[in-house]
Chain A
Amino acid sequence: MNMAIQWVSFKTIVVKEVRRFMRIWVQTLVPPAITIALYFVIFGSLIGSRIGQMGGYDYMQFVVPGLIMMAVIQNSYGNVVSSFYGTKFQGNIEELLVSPTAEVTILLGYLAGGVLRGLAVGGIVTVLALFFTELSVESWPITISMVLMTAVVFSIAGFLNAMYANSFDDISIIPTFVLTPLIYLGGVFYSVDLLPDFWANVSLVNPILYMVNGFRYGILGVSDVSLGVSYFMLTLFMLGGFGFAMYLLTRGEKLRS
């Protein structure tokens, strides 16, 4: 494999992806910022002040890491699923298939695009959060590694969704009926300690719980689950998802006849 060609090709895909979401910033960057700002106002300022403390912190401080993570998850996923499915739908995936760009380069390029969009929106949401509460970071390495790994995992998930999708309906069904419930029930707004034992145990099968709590640990130093389990789950999903995506790409699943 000619690494020089692959490197140029990777940079080309990343530049194309970043230009895409910057070109349509009104659709990609503004809506999540407004939505999350509303969460800050309603759940943080208005209702949060009556909830009191959670996990030893003001509700606003508790909920901020979860909302940042929610923005990162939704936007990493959304960027890759819409961009890669759009590429398939318009047929310009053939530009890549015909070229010397290797499958692994295609995958890494799209994942990098998803991660950058997730981080861009996460950054915007973090800045917005500073208008509502003070934010100090307990551990930068944990915070950064958690947000990066989560963005990668959900970029892979978006890629897999796009690989299998046959219509635009297929790329909205998973985010609406699977991703959103998992995020809302993944400890973004509450500590699982508040739940009855049965539901607390059910929550443990939700992978997003580990990501949100890992990130919250990085910022606040509190978590409902062990940090080691969070890293283990993220690594598992990352490697498993990447391997599966590579398998599908190499087979040309729904790309080649």
Chain B
Amino acid sequence: MSVALEIKGLKKTYADGFQALKGIDLHVRQGDFFALLGPNGAGKSTTLGILTSVVSKSAGSVCIMGHDIDQDFQQAKQCLGVVPQEFNFNQFEKVFDILVTQGGYYGLSRALAKQRAEKYLRKLDLWDKRDTISRTLSGGMKRRLMIARALVHEPQLLVLDEPTAGVDIELRRSMWEFLTQVNEEGTTIILTTHYLEEAESLCRNIAIIDEGQIIENTSMKSLLRKLTREIFIFDTRNALQPPLELPGFTARIMDEHMLEVEIEVGKEQSLNKLFTLFDGAGIEVTSMRNKANRLEEMFVNLLKPSKIVGYDQAANSPVVEPGAAANDGAAS
């Protein structure tokens, strides 16, 4: 399969001396749905900024659909569509005009640009708003307008920088469906997001960037297979009383009807074994869920704890050692 994006030895040092990228290599195949993840300040936006010509690189090379962005910038840019993080369309223009103007920047005739504008405004449920001044749109509509604008020249590679930030869950899911459809129609998509559930459900391959370096670059499946530990939350019908005997498992009572249990795949622990122990202890489970999504667990494991804003190390530390009785962890 051909390569949609090839980055080699990409470095960026800003004027104040801050080295945002320390020589990254990245390879995204055509047709892929690729996640680029990392904590704030890791280098994601700098990488995307270089792809989109908003940031100048210090060293390295970038090829988009086989076109070098230095040698062959017009062809490279013609293949690229960008949805930036911030709303950056003209706030005083009508929705339809924004798309038609964008088409013109890519060499589309006015007639074709109008046709495409209608196509994508309809697909993104914005056709009724075509004559609305863009600044009066709701946040969700503005996000969709950004996606429609990026697609008007029908790029082969679509880069989305946190496209669903601040969007309600219903709209987010409809945008996921739309992006999946765009990807299935052949457009390669690179996505950055802080919603790891979004990356896990949409993307086939993933790179994690930290301190200007790629620390993981693999398929989503391979990455998640490396996850050796999962934490589940169980809601119980009966009140939990310490001490609680769950030999081999790390458990902690959150409150009298909620229990947190850590399962380590490497130690051949399983939910079946756990439920057997629950039965033995007379615990009736009414519902269960992952404490965090699996990719989030992996992400936290890969990064230094100090990098995870709001990451509570204590909450992830075992309160009860395997084999020991669980204390009442609700107070912690």
Contact = CB atoms under 8 A, between A and B. Distances in A.
Given A1-B74, A100-B73, A257 B105 contact: no
Contacts of A101: 105
Contacts of A98: 52-54, 77, 80, 82
Interface of A is mostly: helix
B14 to A, nearest CB: 6
Interface stretch (A3-11, A185-193, A194-202, A212-220): A3-11
Interface in A226-257: 252, 256-257
Contacts of B74: 1-2, 5, 100, 102
A80 B105 CA distance: 19
Contact-residue bracket for chain B: 20 to 34
A95 B88 contact: yes
Contacts of B132: none
A12 B97 CA distance: 11
A94 to B, nearest CB: 5
Nearest to A19: B97
A90 B80 CA distance: 22
A97 B49 contact: no
Contact of A97 (B53, B86, B149): B53
A91 interface: yes
A2 B56 contact: no
Interface stretch (B106-114, B235-243, B247-255, B275-283): B106-114
Interface in B78-93: 78, 80, 82, 84, 86-91
Contacts of B90: 87, 90, 92
B30 interface: no
Interface string A1-42: 110111011011101100100000000000000000000000
Interface string B37-73: 0000000000001001111100000000000000001
Interface of B is mostly: loop
A6 B105 CA distance: 8
A95 B105 contact: yes
B217 to A, nearest CB: 25
Contacts, number: 83
A92 B99 CA distance: 12
A42 B75 CA distance: 58
Interface in A83-112: 87, 90-92, 94-102
A9 B107 contact: yes
Nearest to B90: A92
Interface residues of A, number: 29
Most buried by A among B80, B89, B104: B104
B293 interface: no
B329 to A, nearest CB: 47
B150 to A, nearest CB: 9
A100 B101 contact: no
B102 interface: yes
Contacts of A2: 74, 107
Interface in B218-235: none
Given A2-B74, A5-B74, A257-B49, A99 B105 contact: yes
Sorted nearest first, the 5 A-B pairs with minimum C-beta distance are: A12-B104, A5-B107, A91-B88, A99-B105, A100-B74
14 contacts: A5-B78, A11-B104, A12-B101, A12-B104, A90-B89, A92-B88, A96-B105, A97-B54, A98-B77, A99-B77, A99-B105, A100-B77, A252-B56, A257-B15
Given A95-B149, A98-B82, 12 more contacts: A1-B74, A6-B107, A9-B105, A91-B88, A94-B82, A95-B105, A99-B105, A100-B75, A100-B105, A252-B56, A256-B54, A257-B56
